[in-house]
Chain A
Amino acid sequence: MTTPMLSVSGLRAAYGPVQVLFDVDFDVEPGSVTTLIGANGAGKTTIMKSIAGLVAPAAGEISFEGRDITQAASHDRVDAGLCLIPEGRLVFPGMTVEQNLRLGAIAPAARAGHSEMLAEVFRRFPRLEERRGQQAGLMSGGEQQMLALGRGLMARPRLILMDEPTLGLAPVMVKQVFETIEELRATGFTILLAEQNAKVALELADRAYLLENGRVALSGSGAELLDSPDVRRAYLGM
């Protein structure tokens, strides 16, 4: 039995008096794509932010590669090897593509090898290299998503948290994002993916969790969730 790369147990979170996560438990195995699906407001982003250290959990434990990181500062988590590609991309709009990427490698563990990593990101996303001098705020949504992912890779993460990477993208870009995720898995990255595009996300997932109102309502392999009548009715429109 392998230890999970990420283990979340009993996670509770609240915004002021409003509790939005209720004892959430799940694991992410190394080398896998694990998917969180759920309706708007189910709590996917809150889970992602809790793991990245942007939201302080009210209770529960988060451990990464066997280490308890529940109380760690967000920059220590990046340094430890996990990295969030946030919902809405959050690129630095007034900086160029290249400056955004350079900032991606600001964590001490990533600084030394940043120029090799830049070459690697440009190889994966030639479009970013073409646009390296452009202001990030002026790029299209798809390009910004690519940039956000490239910026995340610059930190040399082992675990990538992707929060709705296909939000607002045209179908052809959506397809490309999922291809990229598969490529990343093939090259050894571990991925936790929150998605509204339930069908594709589940087809891709090694393991999947369905969230409802801040609780894990169902879990299983991607295929199992795809076959579940509840999921088919509520999320796949079948």
Chain B
Amino acid sequence: MDTLLSGQLLFAALVSGSLYALVALGLNLVYGTLRLLNIAHGDLVMIGAYTAFWMISLFAIPPILSLFIAAALCALLGWAVYAGLFRRMLAKPELAKRVEANSLILFYGISVILQNLAALAFTSTSRGYQYLDTVITWQGISMTGNRLLSLGVAASVCFGALLFLRFHLFGWGLRAVIQRREAAQVVGVNLNRVQLLTICGGFAVAGVAGVLVSMTEQITPFMGFPFTIVAFVVIIIGGLGNIGAGVLAGFCLGLVETYGIALTSPGYRSILIYGLFVGVLLVRPEGIFTKAVRS
């Protein structure tokens, strides 16, 4: 009982929750505005992680700077995917109708390619590095600097994104596209620009998450898939295309996972995550935080 009420556990829950929220944020933005199911989302996390690793190993560039490099790299990838593949598909109504289903297969292909390219280039040896790993104790809670940084960055990016969506006119346009694409065009939202910037932003956020993960976990070419799964679980719990709810759901998943494991054992991790997922799908398939109004 003591451990359950300790700040230590809460801190751990917030660290993983904020990371889940961040990974899911990018997936949700891309799904919401473009209706693309990005199965390769976790592989962007992997790319971000390798970016941080190589930057610090080769050039002694610290992860805090690699955050920007990884974001730019993934944003560039987003641009390439959008300009190269999807702009044409989305512009043609016949193709746009099937884009959701097709995107799943296309991104699956992209995912396999990215993983194998990474394995070829970097081998499948797991990598890691040390950064800010001294323990800081505050109010009886022991934290490593890198976990604190991870929580700080992930939470700030999530809440920054939410504030942007709420208060910036571009964010309004983006929400309009998510809610009713055709109506957004009717009022004069620049659909092409919203889609392009969203895919770049969504990919960039995944790259940032990768840098954060790399500070505390092993880096391999195949590390991305579990993040894809977690991100899908989170956005389905929150409600597809519902950005704020997705962030909340990410934190909730972190809490459920951490406290669930503390009450049971680490072997139950998958059962907890999928149990929550299946439970939500059974009880509220539209997502737990989705408002009733959606015609």
Bitwise, B179-212 to A at CB < 8 A (1) or not (0) is: 1101111111111100000000000000000000
A74 touches B172 (CB 8 A): no
Contact check, B180 vs A138: say whether CB atoms are below 8 A apart: no
| A93 lies within 8 A of B293 (CB) | yes
Q: With A75-B189, A75-B191 in contact, do A103 and B293 touch (Cβ < 8 Å)?
A: no
Q: Which residue of A lies closest to B170 (CB)?
A: A106
| Any A CB within 8 A of the CB of B295 | yes
Q: Which of B169, B183, B295 has the most CB of A within 10 A?
A: B183
Residue among B169, B175, B190, B295 making CB contact with A75, cutoff 8 Å: B190
The 4 closest A-B pairs by CB, nearest first: A78-B188, A107-B188, A90-B183, A137-B293
**B interface residues, tally (CB under 8 Å):** 24
Q: Are A75 and B291 in contact (CB under 8 A)?
A: no
A54 and B185 in contact, given A94-B291, A103-B176 (Cβ under 8 angstroms): yes
| A132: Cβ under 8 A from any B Cβ | no
Choose from A54, A73, A93 the contact partner of B190 (Cβ within 8 Å): A73
A106 proximity list for chain B (CB < 8 A)? 169, 172-173, 176, 187-189
Partner of B185, one of A75, A93, A102, A110: A75
A92 to B180, CA, bound (A): 6
Residue from B93, B180, B188, B293 in contact with A90 in the complex, judged by beta carbons closer than 8 Å: B180
- Is A155 located at the chain interface by the 8 A CB criterion? yes
Give the docked Cα–Cα distance between A178 and B181 (Å). 28
Q: Does B2 sit within 8 A of A, measured CB to CB?
A: no
Tell whether A75 pairs with B294 under 8 Å between CB atoms, given A54-B182, A102-B172: no
A12 contacts chain B at the CB level, 8 A cutoff:
no
Instruction: Known A86-B186, A94-B179; judge A16-B94 contact (CB<8 A).
Output: yes
Chain A: minimal CB distance from B93 (Å) = 7
Range of interface residues on A (Cβ < 8 Å): 20 to 34
Write out the residue numbers on chain A whose beta carbons fall within 8 Å of the beta carbon of B191: 73-75
Q: A15-B93, A91-B183 are in contact. List 6 more A-B contacts (CB 8 A).
A: A53-B185, A73-B190, A78-B186, A94-B291, A106-B176, A151-B187
Which residue of the partner chain, among B173, B189, B295, contacts A93 with CB atoms under 8 Å?
B295
Proximity string of chain A (64-105) to chain B, C-beta cutoff 8 Å, 1 when within and 0 when not: 000000000111001100011010001111110001001110
The closest CB in chain A to the CB of B290 belongs to: A94
In this assembly, does A111 line the interface, its C-beta being within 8 Å of a C-beta of chain B? yes
What residues of A have a CB within 8 angstroms of the CB of B295 in the complex?
93, 137
- Residues of A near B291 (CB, < 8 A) are 94
Q: Is A137 touching B294 in the complex (CB atoms < 8 A)?
A: yes
Q: Which residues of B approach A to under 8 Å, CB–CB?
A: 93-94, 169, 172-173, 175-176, 179-180, 182-192, 291, 293-295
- Write the chain A residue with the least CB distance to B93: A15
- State whether B188 touches A84 (Cβ < 8 A): no
A111 touches B182 (CB 8 A): no
Question: Are B169 and A74 interface neighbours, CB within 8 A?
Answer: no
23 contacts between A and B (CB under 8 A): A52-B186, A73-B190, A73-B192, A75-B188, A75-B189, A75-B191, A78-B186, A78-B187, A78-B188, A92-B180, A93-B180, A93-B294, A93-B295, A94-B291, A94-B293, A103-B172, A103-B176, A103-B184, A103-B189, A106-B176, A110-B188, A135-B293, A151-B187
Could you give, for residues 140-174 of chain A, a 1 whenever the CB lies within 8 Å of some chain B CB and a 0 otherwise? 00000000000100010000000000000000000
- Which A residues are in CB contact (< 8 Å) with B176? 92, 95, 103, 106
Instruction: Say yes or no: A93 contacts B179, CB within 8 Å.
Output: yes
**Chain A window 13-28, contacts with chain B (Cβ cutoff 8 Å), 1 for yes, 0 for no:** 0011000000000000
User: Nearest Cβ distance between residue B218 and chain A, in whole angstroms?
Assistant: 42
**Contact B182 A86, beta carbon cutoff 8 Å:** yes
Contacts of B182 in A (CB 8 A): 54, 86, 90
**What chain B residues lie within 8 Å of A99 (beta carbons)?**
172
Cα(A86)–Cα(B191), bound, Å: 17
Task: Evaluate contact between A138 and B187: CB separation under 8 angstroms.
Answer: no
Contact of A103 (CB < 8 Å), options: B94, B187, B190, B294:
B187
Note all chain A residues with C-beta closer than 8 A to B169: 106, 111
Q: A135-B293, A137-B293, A138-B293 are in contact. Are A54 and B183 (CB under 8 A)?
A: no
